[in-house]
Amino acid sequence: MQFLKEIQYRKFNFLLTVLGVSVAVALVVVFITMTKASQNETRRLTRDMGFNLKIIPAKTDMNKFWVDGYSNLTMDADHVDKLVDEKAIYYAHLTATLHKQIVWNELDVILTGVSADEKEPKGSKKSKMIFAIAPQQVYVGYEVASALGINAGDDIDVLGQIFKVEKVLAEVGSQDDIRLYFDLPTLQKLLKMEGRINEIMALNCMCSTKGDDPLEALRTQLNKVLPGTKVIMNRTIAVARERQRKMVDAYFAWILPIVIIICALWVGAMTLINTNHRYHEIGTMRAIGLTSSRIMLLFFQRSILAGLVGAIIGFGLGTFLALQYGPDIFKVTAKAIKPLYNLLWWSLLVAPVFSMLAALLPIVHATGLQPANVLKEE
């Protein structure tokens, strides 16, 4: 094929064109892979800060709620299932809980039952945010364990029932240090409150909501599904999650076009250099009867091949850089950084088109030359 012979004859210029396409593809692959990693890292880090939503009965005495740390009222445990059945909502990691403050061994403690299941409205599977406790076992808060000399493996009596201490929790500096954690059905039975809960813990999904504060959207959705409830949000965590997500998206949307424009100028410049070097050759081809469309096809074939080769090299380079340096940046979710092979197929589709468009103006300029004017300069 003639365009292959032309490439062989002008290897260096072709390689520079491939380099421009490869850099463009590599940068796009790196940005997309790292953006995905950044979003995962943000979700994980803010998730590890704890649940930022509490769904409680609407008639809760809020003064008592803030003093005690939980609602003085209860609601049906099936409220979680109603939220799960509503697919398109901004709630995630839905976990039913029951709390009750008692005096135990002369200490004020809070008995907390936690559902073993964290449910997702959209049916997706996510790693658990909180421990699952087996029946007949208990997790003991730091302050309670320290005050009473309780250790893992001990048996303790709670309201007339014996439980094995599975774990003594580390100090967290909050009300959680005076809790005894149980499996939810176990505590419901122990307190004779079967089927009842007084709180659903959750996280707001990192969804697109207007502004930085998703609380209005969360309350609107909750009122439609569970009208007898209200949602309390830790604004600090929730707003930080939303702002971080939007910051990453905005950064990517701003920097990517700049990268593409620079690489397009590079490819266009390489094509212009190539056509200028062949100024008289193109004039001769026109003089012997080759049409403009035939000459344009020759250059476009060259651009398409450069795009395909650049797509493969760029994807490989971009993926290598992301896998090489991504784990050092995103340490918490390092293992989740993987090649995005769908980007390879997009690269093979888009890069040749990108290469052709970048070369369009130089090619049109070159093939528009009048052969008589070119040959006059010989």
Q: What is the mean pLDDT of residues 44-64?
A: 78
Residue 180 has pLDDT above 90, yes or no: yes
**In this structure, what DSSP letter does residue 51 have?**
-
pLDDT above 90 coverage of the chain, percent: 25
Question: Which of these, 59, 48, 47, 52, lies nearest to 232 by C-alpha position?
Answer: 52
Q: How far is 66 from 218, CA to CA, in rounded Å?
A: 21
Three-point CA angle 309, 314, 318, nearest 5°: 160
Q: What is the mean pLDDT of residues 102-130?
A: 78
Residue 149's pLDDT is what? 94
Question: Which of these, 354, 344, 368, 266, lies nearest to 304 by C-alpha position?
Answer: 354
Higher pLDDT, 240 or 3: 240
Q: How far is 317 from 49, CA to CA, in rounded Å?
A: 35
Higher pLDDT, 13 or 196: 196
Q: What is the mean pLDDT of residues 335-348?
A: 81
Residue 199 bridge partners (DSSP)? 97
Residue 355's pLDDT is what? 75
Residue 108's pLDDT is what? 93
Q: What is the pLDDT of residues 55-85, one digit of tens each?
A: 999 999 999 998 888 998 999 988 888 888 7
Residue 210's pLDDT is what? 56
Three-point CA angle 166, 172, 173, nearest 5°: 135
Alpha-helical (H) ranges within the chain are 2-9, 11-47, 62-68, 79-85, 142-148, 184-190, 215-225, 235-277, 279-287, 292-329, 342-367, 371-376
Residue 318's pLDDT is what? 86
Residues in the chain: 378
Q: Collect all residues with Cβ–Cβ distance below 8 Å to 258 and sequence separation of at least 6.
A: none
CA atoms within 13 A on the CB side of 259: 18
Residue 270's pLDDT is what? 64
Mean of pLDDT over the chain: 78
Contact status, residue 26 vs residue 318, Cβ threshold 8 Å: yes
Q: What is the pLDDT of residues 208-225, one digit of tens each?
A: 455 556 777 788 888 888
Which band of pLDDT confidence, cut at 50, 70 and 90, is reported for residue 109?
A: very high
Using CA atoms in the order 157, 162, 165, 171, what is the torsion angle rounded to 10 degrees? -30
Residue 208's pLDDT is what? 47
Residue 84's pLDDT is what? 80
Q: Answer left, alpha or beta for residue 318, where phi above 0 means left and psi between -120 and 50 means alpha.
A: alpha
Q: What is the mean pLDDT of residues 171-183?
A: 91
Q: What is the pLDDT of residues 352-361, one digit of tens each?
A: 887 777 667 6
Contact status, residue 40 vs residue 248, Cβ threshold 8 Å: no
**Most confidently predicted of 43-47, 92-96, 336-340:** 92-96
Which of 85-89, 197-201, 365-369 shows the lowest per-residue confidence on average (mean pLDDT)?
A: 365-369
Residue 3 has which token pair?
Answer: 């365009």
Residue at token pair 């590079």: 266
Question: Helices 11-47 and 2-9: crossing angle, nearest 10°?
Answer: 90
Which band of pLDDT confidence, cut at 50, 70 and 90, is reported for residue 120?
A: low
Q: What is the pLDDT of residues 248-305, one digit of tens each?
A: 667 667 777 777 777 667 666 766 665 665 555 566 666 666 677 777 777 778 778 8
Q: Where are the domains of the chain?
A: 2-43+243-376, 53-233
